[in-house]
Each structure stands twice: as C-alpha cells, then as structure tokens.
Amino acid sequence: MRIPYNWLQDYLQADIEIERLCHLLTMGGLEVEEVRDWTATDGEATDQILMTAVTPNRGDLLSMIGVARHAAALSRTDFVDPVTSFPEIDNPVTDREKASIGPVTVEIADSVGCLRYSALLIEDVEVGPSPDWLRYRMEAAGIRSINNVVDCTNYVVWEMGQPLHAFDFRLLKDGYIIVRRAEDEEKLLLLDDTWQTLGPEDVVIADPMGAVALAGIMGGTDTQVSETTSRVLLESAHFDPVAIRRTSLRLGVSTEASYRFERHVDPNLTLPALARAAELIMMTAGGQIAHAAIDVKTRDFATKSLQLRPARCNSLLGTDLDAAAMADFLRRLGFGVEEGELLTVEVPTFRPDVEREIDLVEEVAIVYGYENIELTVPGHLTCTGRLTEQQRLRRRAGELLRECGLCENLSFSMMDPSDLDECHWPQDDACRDFLELANPASSDLTVMRTTLLPGLLTAAAHNARQRVSDIALYEIGTVFFPQDEQSLPGERQHVAVLMTGSLLTADWNLPVEQAQVDFYYMKGIIEQLCGGLGGPELSFVRQNHSTFHPGKCAQVLLGDETIGLMGEIAAEVAEAYDLPDGACASELNLDMLLERAVLYTTHQPVARFPAAERDLAIIVPDNDEFASARLIEEIEQAAGEFLESVTPFDVYSDPQQIGAGRKSIAFRLVFRADDRTLIDAEVEAVMSAVHSYVEEEVGAEVRK
Amino acid sequence: MEDKLEQLRDEAVAAFQNAKDEEQLEQARVEYLGRHGRLREAMTNIANLPEERRPIMGSLANRASREMEQVYQQRQQELAQQAAAQEPGEQIDVTLPGRASRVGRRHPLLATLDEMIEIFLGLGFTVAEGPEVENYYYSFEALNYPEFHPAMDEQMTFYVGDDALLRSQTSPVQIRVMEQQQPPVRIVAPGRCFRRDTVDATHCHTFYQLEGLLVDEGVTFADLKGTLEVLAREMFGPACHMRFRPDFFPFTEPSAEVCLTCMICGGEGCRVCSQTGWLEIMGAGMVDPNVLAGIGYDTEKYTGFAFGGGIERLAMLRYGIDDIRLFYSGDMRFLAQF
Ligand SMILES: [Zn+2]
C-alpha cells in the first residue's frame, strides 16, 4: 500500500523522521519495501511515499490510521484518531434484516455474504472537480481523481480502510437497496466498463430492477455518481471475506475494496466511515445529511476477551518482561487491558486475527521488538544427529558415481509426454502412463516424469549444441506414476547415467577404443555402483528397447528382478538430440538397489600363497547361447575349488582365421589354494579336465 | 734410475686419477703414455744404459707401463660411465596435458543443502523425508491454513488430482513425523518443492527447501534465534548474522521473516540486497498451538519452533551464481566447476 509520509503525519503526535519510521515499521512487521519521491503532475506538491507490503493476516494495516497506530506503538508515542460525529449517524435506524427511513430502504437478503450494511443519504451536493488538497492526496495514494464525491469516499478507504461506495440516489429504483445472491446468468456492467455474467455464488447490491453493484468489489456504471447527481447514497457495508474472495478470483477482478474485504475489515467501522465521508463530502461538495443513517446488521460485533499469562508469554519468548510492560504494549496497539495476576485483554474488532493467548504473545513480541530477544541454544540434546542407514546408502550411491567421473545433474520433475516420442520410447511401455498436472505452468511441462532419461538426454543435447563433446552426467531423482484414487500417486527414486566422449581429462595419442566411452564402460559403472553398495549380485541380459541400439542394450537384473536397463543410444535418438554416435545411458530403480545394499562389507582374508595362472582359448559359435557369462560359469563348474578367478582377456571374430559365425575367446584362469602353493601337476590336471569339459559338454573348440 | 721410473709412474697415476673429464685424461695419456711421452722417453734412456742393467730396468719399465695403462683404462671407464649418466637419453614434452580419469562433482544446490544438513546434524537434528506429491490435508489443513484465505495465494500450487498436489514446501514432512512420534522432535526436512512460478533469473517453478522443526519442553523464540544464528555463522563466518522481523505464516505464531547479513556488501547495502544490507532467506516461528494440538501433543507442556527456506539463494551466494536457470541447465562446463 502507498503510504504518503506527510499525510501520515496527520495521525501522529510525534515527529518521526522518515528513515526511523521505515525501520520501525519494517522491524515491526509492516515491511516498507521502498520509499519513492512523489511530485504532483502539476508540480505543485511533493511527498515521500512509503511502499508497504502487508501480510495477509493484517487487514488493519491497509489504512493510514492502522499504520499510524502501529507506528505510534512501536515508537512509544501517541496516535491521533480523527473522530467525527453526527447525531444522524450516531443514532441510526437499525434492524437485523431490513430498515427504511424517508425514501431509502435497505434489505439484507443474503446474511451469509453481507453481515452489515450501513447507508446514508446526502442531499444537494454539487458534484465537481476535487479541491487541490484532495486531488494531491488521491494522486499521492495512487488513486485516479474522479470527482469530489467519489474522491471523498476513496479518501476514507485510504484513511480508515473501510471501502465505501456512492450511488446516484435518483438512479436507484424506488430507493430500495437489496443485498442478495445474483441470479443465474445475471449481467452487470461494472465501472471499469466490463460486462460480468454472475451467478448464485456472487453477492450483489441490487434495486428492484436488478444488480447495481458487485458487492465489496466494484460498483456498476448505471448508478454511478456524475456531474448531474444531487442526491448521493453512501454505502458502508461489511461483507464476508470468503464470498468476496471467491467472486474476485472467479471473475479475475481485484480492487482496493475486494483486497481489503478479503483481508478482513473492522465490522464496526461502517458508521464511523460514513461520518467521516459525510464530513468530507459536505466540506468539498456541499449538501447536507438528509436524515438518520440506516444500519442493517445481521448480528452484533462484540469485542473478544482473552487472558494472557505473563509467565507463559516469557517462557515462550525466552524473555523476562514484567506484566506491566506487556499491558503497556497491548494498550498501545488499541487493546483494552485489565491488569491482575493474569492480563485480561479486550481485543478490538479491527484485530480479528487475534483470537488466542498465543496471538497476544506475538503482539507483545512485536512491540518489544524481535531484535531485543536474546540468542540462546536449545538445551538438553536428546538424540544423536545422524543420517539413517538408507540416507547414508543414498549418499554413498552418489559418491560412487562421482568417483566414476560423473557430474551430478538436476532436471525438472515435469516433462512433456512427447519427450518419450523424441527418444523413441516403446509405445506400450508403462512409462507412458503419466501423472498429469491439472494446472501446468507451461505447455511443455504437463506431466510428471516417469523416467530420468529424457532429462539427461536434453542436458546432453544442450552440451552437444555448445560443442561440449565429453559428457558424463548422472541424476538421482524421483519418478512418478498414477495409483488408484484412494492413495497418493506412487514415487520412486531412480538413478540414471549418460555418457559420451572421452573418459580421460586428455586423450592425445590414445586409440579411440581406449579413450572413448562405450557399452562396456557404462556397464562397468553400474558394476562399480552396485559393488560399492555392498555388491548385490547383478546380471545383464540382452534387451530390445527402441531408445537403445538394437544389438547394444541390456536389461539389468538384481537376482531375478529387473532393476533397469542400459545400452548405447540408438542412432535415430542420438540424431534427434544432436549427440554423437556411441553415447551410452542407463537407468536403474535406486529404491530396489538400496533395499539390497549394505553399508559395511565383511572382510575377506587376503591370499597368502602364490597363484598359478593358465590361459584357455576357445572357439565357439558367436551367439547368445555362448555368451561369455555362460562360458565363465561352465569353466568355473569344471575347474573346481582351486579356481580363484576366470577373466576374458581377448575376444575376436575373424571369418578368415576361425570361420564365419564363430568367435574366439581367451580366458585367464587363476588357481590358488589357501593353505599351500599349488604344484604344476595339480594345475595341469585341472586344466585338462577343463579342456575336456568345454569340448565335450559345452561344444567349444580348444585352441592349442 | 729406478727412483725416476717409480716417480714417473706415481705422477702418471695421479694425473690419470685426477683427470676430471675425458679431455684431461687424454692430455695425461699423451703426456705419459704417448708416442713422445715421458714413458717412451724413459725407455729410450734405458737403451743407453750399460748392457747388464738393461734387462732389469727394462722389466721395471714394463711393469710401470702396465700399471699406468691399467689405471688409465680404469679411469677412462669411470669417466665414460659418468658421461653416459649425464647423457639425456629419451626426452618427453613435459608440457603436454596430463591424463587422468575424470572426477565427478556434486550439484552445487545439493552441495549447499548437504552443508546445511551437516550443521544441523551437529546440533542433534535428524533428517526426515516425505513424498513430493502430497494431499491437501498434510499440505495445508494440518498446517493451519484457512480455506479461501489470501495466504493460499502465495502457495501457487500445482495440482495432479482432486486431493493430490506437488508440495510447495516441505512442511508436510513435519506433520508426518510428529504423527509418528512423541516429543522431543528435532528434524530437518530437505527436498524438492514446486510452485507455479514463471522462470526467470531469480525464479523457478522447481526449487529446494530445508525446513527444521524442534518440539520439546521449554523451547523458546530465543532458542529459534540462537539456532539460526549458528547456521549463519557456520555457513558464512562470524561476521554473518540473522535478523528477525515479524511476518505471517499460518503454522507459526509468533512468526518471523529471517534475513541474513548480505555477504556481498558486508551489510553496507548493495544492488543484490536492494541497499538494505540484508537478504531474506527463511521464514520461521514458534509452531502454532493449533498445529501441535492437531497432532495430539499437549500444548501446555510442549512448545516448538520451525523454520524453512529455499536453498537456491544460499547456493547462489556461496558460489557467486547470478542466474537460477544455470542449476537446471545440465551444462557440463557449469556442473564440473564445483
Ligand atoms: Zn548487499
């Protein structure tokens, strides 16, 4: 809200310098975001404007008086309340539902939307331009000056926070005001020249012909005050915040009035605001009050009484204030206080946010000053601050991937369903069952991600387009999938890796196959990750997945459960993302992996006796039946207890040398006993058993 | 004559042994063993001796000659070895780029979050986590948000169903934790949150938050101030402080906006802090008794404080990053720096 500094002085006894005022208000909960110099358009007046940001609970600070009262309390100075009084307003015609006087009738038909409606008829006004002082104040407040009558109502809105509306009484059919719900499809032309179509959700002010104003939001053009107006009916009402907010949100119309009603206006302000407006109108537009005001109020708005225990207040704040100081603070804020063992506090109706003892504690803290509360550290440590085992395992997973040279990436949790088309994701895959956003922020982020790969591919594409060709990224993040309506959608932690380019910080003179990422490097990373998490047994099975190269893709299994997939990115996908051929990626279900992971592995004794090594080269058909993993298993079975390890060290296929459709694999077998050095004869015996086994049982040809 | 031969031999041996390099040795060889050298000269003198002395002297001279030759050769070998040792052999260009495996890096946002978590672990807090998709109850109702209240405007919530939304803060975790245990509760809840914000240099619809909650007997607002002061000091040094001013949040009362000394200007005022010397980083306050009572805690016995804020701003300050979009750029040149 714009608070003109000079105008504010009207309500402050003491002269508070502007810098100090801003500091006091900001530290007292009303943030002054900025001070702007203001000069009137005709250059004849200047002021400084405090731009305040009001928290949604403090509707009372949306007025000059509210700000002045707060500033006075914070500076321990006095506040000047501009009280106006007229007998016609002090003694209104009052009723619960409907009241009349002279030509005016007011009826509240919707007591939910409208709690109180006060009205006053002023006759013989001369509508015209506002005097300079009023025009300047309007301009300083940022309000367009309309005419003297409308400006006076806006002045009262600014000064007191009570929205007012002025009708040209002549244009109200039968002088009859009824506050009701709009009918279905009821139309109203508002003062801003927009037609609104209303419904039973909306509260309107109507005469017998139809709606004339949108309650608490804006008046209609048909009944507005103009140069020809001589009788003005002033409306000063109290509407339900929720009803006003609902209509304001639905129609997308927010005004100074609706903004205030949503944040709650003092229900006992309707008559004082009428008095102040009448005073100003008669001062600037002449005229006189026609007769007593009308005040239809559906109920009484009494002050609340609360109790504050000074000891409780101190024990919550960590302060040592005496009860008298607390009472003084509260009185300065406009609360009535009766001192005793407990403070009995009467809460004024302009502070509906103060409902409980704890709310009074906050008021005391604000006036005392948060700055003045000490710094202490909470006592008696009762639990150890430590990450859980699962949290430490997840951290470990990230560390392992970084140790493999991967940088951590973060991508958005939302995606576009077509991202999966872009990466040629299989059509019938479960990942296409998305959790959809009801209100996406943009058209390319409409569903929650079901896989991390599109995010990594997008990151890789960004790098490739920037001519960054060595890419090594991982991401640990949540993927989402719909569940039945009763429960929350499903969430899973996944880990994904994408790599392309060189493995090393420099690769000059190195042959490409030594320096560049390939399928086996990616596979090695998965093995490192799982091995570092306590080594759940992994296996890899050929897989068909259209995002990946048809011959270079594997399903990753943990025991007999699939936990993810890996492979070289298919050429079409690489092209779509501007990636070089040979980029590799992988995605695993991290939750499943961590379920089987352990933080601490059991120590394995280190061998004490030397090993014996033998090589075995075999030729087998080049197909999945003779995959190396199976051959290794067969050799292990044949080699018996002394075999420590068997690792392939040379794999090739050459139709000229070994015939088409065949491959040669050479294995190194390491033998060791844990209680002695093996002698040659023992090793040779095992090797010859292995030879005959692979020849006879496996059908391999042993190269000699 | 014998003396002379011995003297010649000793001189030659000394000359050979003292030769510093092959050139000096060669000079000494020419002087003593050369064709016109002193040994040959001595031999010539022997020829002039009386006949009966010649054989003895001859064999003496031969012996001296052998000894001199031996020392000469030994020295020559030594010097050759020394020279070989000084010879450069294979030379490489030591300025070519080094070659090592790449090293991966933690994302700067999560590195900042880790650092904050470390500090709170040290203060006896544990880390609690919860779902990113939440229901209305845990997101708002249990946190004392009134329905149809302007406070809801700030939340700018994404919905994924009638009663499922993307959490706009990690506060629901606090409720879930309290439902599971009796005080004392000392947790921090880190995690990803979402708000329907348009993306620019300082805003993003996706962000990370760290919230904290402490509920126990006798917890005060002063404790809240002290705890966050520890965070400021541990993160940014002893010159850094937290400033508390009143604010409004439905789930705390009293509530505070928490600012940190602007480290860019040291509190003097600069563009980043809008000349105030302070940067807003958190919201905090004493847990509203309605929230505690909703859990079933005895609000007369237990009080608590809660705080929470985004990580982005702290990470940007920590690393001098000026555009929030970099965090989600996936750019290797950015990610490899931390
Ligand atoms: Zn600064």
Q: Is A56 on the interface with B (CB under 8 A)?
A: yes
Count of alpha carbons within 13 angstroms of residue A522, beta-carbon side: 31
Residue A422, min C-alpha distance to chain B (Å): 18
3-state SS assignment for residue A40: coil
Distance from residue B316's CA to the centre of ligand 1 (Å): 13
Q: What is the CA radius of gyration of chain A?
A: 40
| Whether residues A506 and A643 fall in one domain | no
d(CA B329, CA B314): 18
As to burial, measured by CB atoms within 10 angstroms (0-12 exposed, 13-18 middle, 19+ buried), residue A697 is exposed
Q: Is A511 on the interface with B (CB under 8 A)?
A: no
Q: Look at residue A491 and tell me if it is in a domain.
A: yes
Interface test with B, best of A27, A360, A408 (most B CBs within 10 A): A408
Decide which of A379 and B39 is more confident: B39
Which of B132, B196, B327 shows the shortest C-beta gap to A441? B196
Distance from residue A21's CA to the centre of ligand 1 (Å): 22
Q: Look at residue A209 and tell me if it is in a domain.
A: yes
Residue A603 pLDDT class (50, 70, 90 cuts)? confident
- The pLDDT, as a whole number, for residue A380 is 67
On chain A, the residues whose CB falls within 8 A of the CB of B135 are 488
On chain B, the residues whose CB falls within 8 A of the CB of A356 are 289
All structural domains of chain B with their residue ranges: 2-86, 108-335
* Residue B162, amino acid: D
Domain count, chain A: 5
- The pLDDT, as a whole number, for residue B148 is 62
Interface test with B, best of A51, A312, A358, A495 (most B CBs within 10 A): A358
Residue that finishes a domain, picked among A263, A297, A331 = A297
| Whether residues A436 and A480 fall in one domain | yes
- The pLDDT, as a whole number, for residue A573 is 96
| Whether residues A459 and A560 fall in one domain | yes
On chain A, the residues whose CB falls within 8 A of the CB of B227 are 377-378
A–B: how many Cβ contacts below 8 A?
Answer: 269
Interface test with B, best of A488, A494, A591 (most B CBs within 10 A): A488
| Whether residues A585 and A470 fall in one domain | yes
On chain B, the residues whose CB falls within 8 A of the CB of A458 are 330
Going by DSSP bridges, is the β-strand pair A294-297/A93-95 parallel, antiparallel, or unpaired?
Answer: parallel
| Whether residues A282 and A328 fall in one domain | no
Q: Does the beta-carbon distance from B161 to A31 stay under 8 Å?
A: no
Asked, as a colleague might, if the bond just before A103 is cis with ω within 30 of 0, I would say: no
- Architecture per CATH, B108-335: 2-Layer Sandwich (3.30)
Distance from residue B236's CA to the centre of ligand 1 (Å): 14
Interface test with A, best of B105, B106, B160 (most A CBs within 10 A): B160
- The pLDDT, as a whole number, for residue B57 is 81
Distance from residue B279's CA to the centre of ligand 1 (Å): 8
The single residue listed with the structure tokens 């692979």 is A694
Q: Look at residue A283 and tell me if it is in a domain.
A: yes
What is the CATH classification number for the domain harbouring A99?
3.50.40.10
Domain of residue A426: give its range. 389-595
| Whether residues A142 and A35 fall in one domain | no
- The pLDDT, as a whole number, for residue B197 is 86
Round the average pLDDT of chain B to a whole number and report it. 90
| pTM given for the model | 0.83
| Whether residues A583 and A618 fall in one domain | no
Is the pLDDT at B152 greater than 80? The verdict is no
Q: Does the beta-carbon distance from B150 to A263 stay under 8 Å?
A: yes
**DSSP symbol at A560:** T
Distance from residue B266's CA to the centre of ligand 1 (Å): 6
| Whether residues A665 and A698 fall in one domain | yes
Q: Does the beta-carbon distance from B226 to A241 stay under 8 Å?
A: no
The single residue listed with the structure tokens 């109290």 is A238
Distance from residue B239's CA to the centre of ligand 1 (Å): 14
Of B94-103, B108-117, B221-230, the one with minimum mean pLDDT is B94-103
Quick one: chain A helix, strand, coil %, rounded to 5? 35, 30, 35
Q: Which of A12, A54, A56 is nearest to A31 (CA)?
A: A54
**DSSP symbol at A700:** P
Q: Look at residue A606 and tell me if it is in a domain.
A: no
E strands, B88-203, in order: 126-127, 133-134, 158-161, 164-166, 185-194
Q: What percentage of chain B exceeds 70 in pLDDT?
A: 97
Q: Look at residue A197 and tell me if it is in a domain.
A: yes
- The pLDDT, as a whole number, for residue B154 is 62
Which of A358, A391, A505 shows the shortest C-beta gap to B127? A391
Which whole-number Å values give the CA distances from A600 to A389, A396, A532, A533, A604, in the listed order? Answer: 11, 12, 10, 9, 12
- The pLDDT, as a whole number, for residue A11 is 96
Round the average pLDDT of chain A to a whole number and report it. 94
Q: Does the beta-carbon distance from B226 to A376 stay under 8 Å?
A: yes
- The pLDDT, as a whole number, for residue A315 is 95
Distance from residue B315's CA to the centre of ligand 1 (Å): 16
Give ipTM to 2 decimals: 0.86
Residue B150 pLDDT class (50, 70, 90 cuts)? low
What is the CATH classification number for the domain harbouring A26?
3.30.56.10
| Whether residues A111 and A248 fall in one domain | yes
Asked if residues B220 and B184 have their Cβ atoms less than 8 Å apart, the reply is no
Q: What is the pLDDT of residues B213-237, one digit of tens each?
A: 999 999 999 999 999 999 999 999 9
Is the pLDDT at B151 greater than 60? The verdict is no
Asked, as a colleague might, if the bond just before B184 is cis with ω within 30 of 0, I would say: yes
- The pLDDT, as a whole number, for residue B54 is 80
Residue that finishes a domain, picked among A249, A277, A297 = A297
Cross-strand bridge partners of residue B161? B164
Which of A358, A385, A445 shows the shortest C-beta gap to B122? A385
| Whether residues A285 and A424 fall in one domain | no
Q: Is A489 on the interface with B (CB under 8 A)?
A: yes
| Whether residues A184 and A263 fall in one domain | yes
Is the pLDDT at A655 greater than 70? The verdict is yes
Return the HEC string of A358-381.
Answer: HHHHHHHHHHHCHHHCCCCCCCCC
Is the pLDDT at A597 greater than 80? The verdict is yes
Q: Look at residue A444 and tell me if it is in a domain.
A: yes
| Whether residues A20 and A168 fall in one domain | no
| Structure token pair of residue B68 | 């001199």
